[in-house]
Structure 1
Amino acid sequence: MALFFSIALYLFTLAPTVIWGDSANFALKVKSLDMGYSADSHPLFIVLGKAFSCLPFEPAYSLNLLSALTASATVFLVYLIVFGITQSKISAVVGALALCVSHAFWLHAVMAEVYGLNAAFVAAVVLCLLKWRKNPDRHAPLYAAALLSGLGLTNHRIILVDLIGMTVFVLVTDPKIIRKGRALLSVFFSFLAGSLLLVFIIVQNMLNRPLTVVADTFSAEGYKEAVVKYSPKVLEEMGIYFSYLFYQFPLAGFALGFAGAVALFRKDIKLALLFSLLIIMNGLLLFKLGPSYGHSKYTFYISAYMVFSILIGCGFFSLQNYLEQRRGFAGKLSPAAAFSVIFLPVLLYNVTPTLTKKLNIDLLNARQVPYRDNEKYFLNPSKRGYDGAERYAREAFETASAGSVIIADYTPYTVLRYLQDIKGVRSDVLLVRIMGHGGIVPKILSEHSGKRDIYLADIGIPRSYRVRYLQKKYDIVRQGVLHKVVPKETPAYPAN
């Protein structure tokens, strides 16, 4: 039931075409089979995306479909985990569907993203560990967990944080394993086998780059200082984290998750320790990154939300047992709690965008881009019928003159590039991507001003587009969804 419900929901609310930013970028990488080894590279997702691109659909839709199916697999794995712990089908369904309709998970299940696949690997490893602990002398499930961890690493580096809790769980379950050299060696080689694609890419790059450069790139050099350095906003980030958590699992789900954690600590402290570490280690790392890493940071919490949904299933099981001891209550309150966990989030996500607009509350502080209602786009996971990104790109190319230049930051650039490279639209237009604070803008102007028409894709990020610098010598004229950069006329002075 949980599997079929999730597939139906995600297919019904699936984005029909390309989406801003990463989703468009994944389609570009899949086309060229661009597989790097940096923290923002996801080789396994690219390989799977290449396979899905053989489907008779638009490439962007095929990748959206890949996300929907991997997310549905995660929902099913949560069902199996909760059922394995509680032996209760209804509790397993409640836990699985709590994840299915949670905001961030649902949002990234209907567009091309790697987070559903990452959560699937974390859930699959947990399931293998639960199977292994029933008979620690039988190491096959442990080797499977190591293999899946390696595959997960090839998809997303964030799984390394989860491996801390998993390793602790293995050690407390079977402390003698550290003396089993053959088993440990098999675990290592299983992990290596799973990460073979990533290892190959790293070795290939080591042949023509210094080892220190490769190591820094692999370990996400841009994040290391933020992780190590103390941030005074850590407490603020913790508050934001719990507000995110409540939005994923409002009211009953939120309460049942914590109730499930308490019940599990009383019943099975080792398993409770595993789930707690998976959530806490994820949170500790990401609190340190702070708000400077943008509005997308909440996506890294998705694997922790998956674990919390397991706790919701355990909490529902405890609630059922409690109510059954008080005859007459179980038949009424249990269905009400299940209904609240599954359907209240759906109601909340449909009401919140309208409510925030009417109350004039900006929860997002997100940039405005054409054909994107930020409240609806970010606060409601459904992307059914949304074609705003493609509509923007088509209108931009219709506006741009022949042989012109469009300067764009990452969000619009990826969509423009998608239409140009994959759909063959306006190959005569030169697309230039802004990096950082737009240092390339003066260079592009000096090279092409007076020879080509130059447009800015957006001016919503003034520092990136060097708007103040441009306004000294140029007028910025709105044309459709673009902004044309026009040299200011030099005033003519009468001759003496």
Structure 2
Amino acid sequence: MPKVVSANPGWHHHVTAMALIRGLPPRFLVALSLFLGATTLYLFTLAPSITQQHFGVDSGELTATAYTLGVAHPPGYPTFLLLAKTFSLVIPWGDVAHRVNVFSALSGAASVVLVYYISHLLIVRTFRVSGARLSRASAAAAVAAASFAFSPLFWSQSVIAEVYSLNALFTAGIMLLVLRWMRGCWPIIVAGLLMGLGLGNHLTLVFVALPFTYVMVLHRKELTPMLIAKLLGVFMLGLSVYIYLPVRASANPPISWGNAAILEGFLWTVSASTYRGLVFGLPLADLPERLVEWAYVLLRQFNTLGLLMGILGVWRLRVSKLPMLVFTVLLFLPSIAYSVTYKTNDAQVYLIPAFMVFALWIGVGLYWLVNLAVETFTLRLRLFASLPVVLFLAAFLVIPGLQVLLSYGDIGL
């Protein structure tokens, strides 16, 4: 029998690729799409080199310090310096400044993926989602993650050499792991490790300790002495990244703040005592103006529809799953309080964890609203079955989509 040869051999590869894609979990495909979309946008708007735009006054110092493996200004940022240096050695294109900017972009895109998984988990647990409604939960979580990805403040920090997109990655990673604790002990152990390591990137990660502790209190019966010992052990292991400071300071690098090679200099650096007066340092007379300004910043991140959807999400969590509301509020409020009262003009960058939480609330509110619309119209009036798709698409276009159109020109460098 003669051998049959395909007229188009590439067709077989196309079919194989499509079959492989169909075999992947739907949530993974959504997460991959979000990562690729965010990465593409961040790279298109990426700063080509060092910049002071978008509150990037430390961009040059952080890039140069990472390149020379020095010691940055307090608290030293050892985790950022080590990761940025490693990444700059791995990718083969661009100068060092461009490579560190790409590192920020990929950290931001990875954060978006984790926000998607957190949002999906939050929705599923709040509304006890199962069956066909899982696709709606995934769609709502995708809108929430995209809303965070394209919020102007977070977007701006993902295109420059700064520590805040990496801080968001640590924040989201710890939150997701803590919420997954019920699947075994390993998530809480990894979360403890990330907490220690992440504090080597930015000290404001300490705010995640509040929801972390809250979940531990809720599950205190499962906290065996052995688990607590392991948790403290891995936390200290992660925190040991600060050993980098005296080790490198003793090598006399070109950039070295505080003489961290000696104990006094090390403590001065890691405690960031030189900035202590800025913490809660805003005069009370300036507080009303700052609150109004920060409220506008929140509105600018998500626009009016996103703001209303987030408020709706808070209400639904209050009604349906109070512990989940407490979990998110314990990160939202400290981030707001710290940022509002921090006595610098660029303090709004500390709002990013709060905006991450607000994006999660948007996902909850959107999921509940779409379900309400489906139950009200589709079941009673037997309207078109694609109503959820239309509503989720409309929400995607109006909240994150509109933010891209409005902010692209301002953020692109």
TM-score by shorter chain over 0.5: yes
CA contact (8 A) 2:104 2:166 kept: yes
Percent pairwise identity: 27
Normalised by the length of structure 1, the TM-score is 0.65
Match of residue 4 from structure 2: none
Q: Taking CA–CA contacts closer than 8 Å with sequence separation of 6 or more, which of the two structures ends up with the larger relative contact order?
A: 2
Match of residue 219 from structure 2: 174
Q: Find 2:86's aligned residue among 26, 51, 57.
A: 51
- Relative distance call for 1:207 and 1:53 in structure 2 (3 A) is closer
Letter in 2 for 1:382: G
- Relative distance call for 1:199 and 1:33 in structure 2 (3 A) is closer
Q: Find 2:196's aligned residue among 150, 154, 178.
A: 150
State the Cα distance separating 1:200 from its structure 2 match: 4.9
Q: CA RMSD in A?
A: 2.3
More strand by share: 1
Normalised by the length of structure 2, the TM-score is 0.77
Q: How does 1:11-160 map to 2 (within 5 A)?
A: 11-20=43-52, 21-36=57-72, 38-39=74-75, 41-54=76-89, 55-86=92-123, 87=134, 88-132=137-181, 134-135=182-183, 138-160=184-206
Deviates more, 1:140-149 or 1:330-339: 330-339
State the Cα distance separating 1:320 from its structure 2 match: 1.0
CA contact (8 A) 1:37 1:218 kept: no
Match of residue 302 from structure 2: 249
CA contact (8 A) 1:15 1:110 kept: yes
Q: How does 1:388-467 map to 2 (within 5 A)?
A: none
The answer to whether structure 1 residue 268 and structure 2 residue 321 are counterparts is yes
In structure 2, how many angstroms separate the alpha carbons of the residues matched to 1:65 and 1:51? 12
CA contact (8 A) 2:245 2:260 kept: no
Letter in 2 for 1:275: T
- Relative distance call for 1:37 and 1:84 in structure 2 (3 A) is same
Render the CA deviation track for 1:248-297: whole Å, top value 9, x for unaligned. 1111111111211221222221121111110101111222223xx12x21
- Relative distance call for 1:207 and 1:225 in structure 2 (3 A) is closer
Match of residue 403 from structure 1: none
Match of residue 304 from structure 1: 354
CA contact (8 A) 1:37 1:201 kept: no
CA contact (8 A) 2:65 2:71 kept: yes
State the Cα distance separating 1:210 from its structure 2 match: 4.8
* Aligned partner of residue 279 in structure 2, secondary structure: helix
CA contact (8 A) 1:10 1:110 kept: yes
In structure 2, how many angstroms separate the alpha carbons of the residues matched to 1:222 and 1:113? 20
What runs of 5+ residues in structure 1 fail to find an aligned partner?
351-375, 384-496
State the Cα distance separating 1:227 from its structure 2 match: 3.3
In structure 2, how many angstroms separate the alpha carbons of the residues matched to 1:298 and 1:79? 23
Q: Find 2:276's aligned residue among 209, 214, 224.
A: 224
Q: How does 1:195-344 map to 2 (within 5 A)?
A: 195-201=239-245, 209-211=262-264, 214-227=266-279, 231-232=283-284, 233-290=286-343, 293-294=344-345, 296-327=346-377, 328=383, 330=388, 332-344=390-402
Q: Which has the larger radius of gyration?
A: 1
In structure 2, how many angstroms separate the alpha carbons of the residues matched to 1:114 and 1:73? 14
* Aligned partner of residue 57 in structure 1, secondary structure: coil
In structure 1, how many angstroms separate the alpha carbons of the residues matched to 2:190 and 2:297? 33
The answer to whether structure 1 residue 382 and structure 2 residue 400 are counterparts is no
- Relative distance call for 1:37 and 1:168 in structure 2 (3 A) is farther
